[in-house]
């Protein structure tokens, strides 16, 4: 629903912007195949913050996607199991639910498909799914949380259910009603004149041809270097981006245009 304030009705920038972006919805969206309940979100939240889901009992999802730091770790590349550096930068977990696919190369279709990955990734949490499940079964508090969240299952503590619960929690990590969202809903005064000038430039310079939609990005893939392909020293030989998923030569050094302008 778009409410146009009376004084903004003939604001051409607002009309152009409303046709290009969408405000973050006020309530969490649904993820295909997940009938989210408060009990599921509650369990997912406990798992998201629990370092016992890692081999070292030191690393949780929140280590690299800190909710209080805009959903990231503020590092060029994350530090995981045994202080190993990963090859890629951790994208924000906030509003990730709105991306067309997950990871810089889009190799996971959605948050549920994504959630199991880091737990057993040797340079992230470094624990096998079998071990993680055994460990969860040994913690009485989790038996109760899984039973309530997945009441129909006879053996509810499974990795699939853990991933479902984490995804249900992540779908609540949205940032509605930011000044830009209010502007998109028709409140011209939500942005200062200087901010509106910046927005005009963002549109005029073509940033919005890739950074558009609900997440100001995250809807498409694009090669490194928008104007000019960067030199070999910027192109890691062992990480060719989306090429690793599609094995198509034109996808070498292509990545998702993750949300930018709305990143907190």
Which listed residue (36, 219, 257, 262) binds ligand HEC by CB under 6 A?
257
CA 226/CA 258 separation, integer angstroms: 14
Give ∠ CA 210-171-155 in degrees, rounded to 5: 135
**How many Cβ atoms are within 10 Å of 104's Cβ, its own excluded?**
20
Which listed residue (24, 52, 55, 65) binds ligand HEC by CB under 6 A?
65
Contacts of 149 by beta carbon, 8 Å cutoff, 6+ apart: 37, 39, 40, 42, 43, 156, 161, 165
Lay out the site mask for ligand HEC across 138-167 (x = CB under 6 A, - = otherwise). ----------------------------x-
Measured CA distances, 176 to 153, 203, 215 (Å): 34, 22, 11
Applying CB under 6 A, the span of 1-9, 20-28, 93-101, 147-155 interacting with ligand HEC comes to 93-101
Does position 39 bind ligand HEC by CB under 6 A?
no
Applying CB under 6 A, the span of 2-10, 17-25, 108-116, 178-186 interacting with ligand HEC comes to 108-116
CA 50/CA 61 separation, integer angstroms: 8
Q: Which of 124, 130, 147, 228 is catalytic?
A: 124
Which listed residue (55, 63, 188, 219) binds ligand HEC by CB under 6 A?
63
The DSSP string of 179-230 is: HHHHHHTT-GGGS-HHHHHHHHHHHHTTGGGTS-BTTTS-SSEEES-SSSPP
Does position 86 bind ligand HEC by CB under 6 A?
yes
Which listed residue (102, 161, 164, 188) binds ligand HEC by CB under 6 A?
102
Active site (annotated) includes residue 170 = no
Does position 96 bind ligand HEC by CB under 6 A?
yes
Compute CA 39 distance to the chain's CA centroid, rounded to the nearest angstrom: 22
Does position 192 bind ligand HEC by CB under 6 A?
no
Q: Which of 181, 193, 178 is nearest to 264 (CA)?
A: 178
CB of 187 to ligand HEC, least distance (A): 23
Question: Per-residue b/e over 1-24, b at no fewer than 16 CB within 10 Å?
Answer: eeebeeebeebebbeebbebbbbb
CB of 221 to ligand HEC, least distance (A): 7
Which listed residue (17, 24, 40, 59) binds ligand HEC by CB under 6 A?
59
> Which residues make up the interface to ligand HEC (CB under 6 A)?
59, 61, 63-65, 78, 80, 86, 88, 90-91, 93, 96, 99, 102-105, 111, 114-115, 118-119, 124-125, 166, 205-207, 209-211, 222, 224, 226, 255, 257-260, 263
């Amino acid at each position: 629903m778009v409410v146009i304030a009376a004084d903004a009705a003939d604001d051409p920038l607002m009309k152009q912007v409303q046709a290009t972006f969408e405000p973050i919805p006020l309530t969490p969206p649904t993820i295909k195949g997940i009938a989210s309940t408060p009990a599921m979100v509650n369990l997912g939240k406990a798992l998201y913050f629990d370092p016992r889901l890692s081999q070292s009992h030191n690393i949780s999802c929140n280590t690299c996607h800190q909710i209080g730091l805009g959903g990231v770790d503020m590092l060029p590349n994350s530090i995981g199991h045994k202080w190993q550096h990963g090859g890629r930068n951790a994208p924000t977990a906030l509003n990730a639910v709105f991306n067309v696919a997950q990871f810089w190369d889009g190799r996971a279709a959605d948050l549920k498909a994504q959630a199991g990955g880091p737990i057993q990734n040797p340079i992230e949490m470094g624990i096998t799914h079998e071990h993680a499940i055994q460990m969860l079964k040994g913690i009485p508090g989790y038996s109760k949380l899984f039973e309530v969240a997945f009441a129909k299952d006879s053996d509810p503590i499974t990795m699939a259910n853990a991933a479902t619960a984490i995804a249900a929690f992540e779908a609540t990590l949205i940032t509605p009603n930011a000044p830009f969202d209010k502007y998109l809903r028709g409140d011209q005064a939500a942005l200062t004149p200087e901010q509106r000038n910046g927005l005009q430039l963002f549109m005029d310079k073509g940033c919005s041809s890739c950074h558009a939609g609900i997440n100001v990005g995250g809807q498409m893939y694009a090669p490194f270097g928008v104007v000019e392909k960067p030199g070999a020293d910027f192109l890691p030989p062992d990480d060719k981006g989306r090429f690793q998923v599609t094995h198509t030569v034109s996808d070498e050094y292509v990545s998702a245009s993750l949300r930018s302008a709305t990143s907190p």
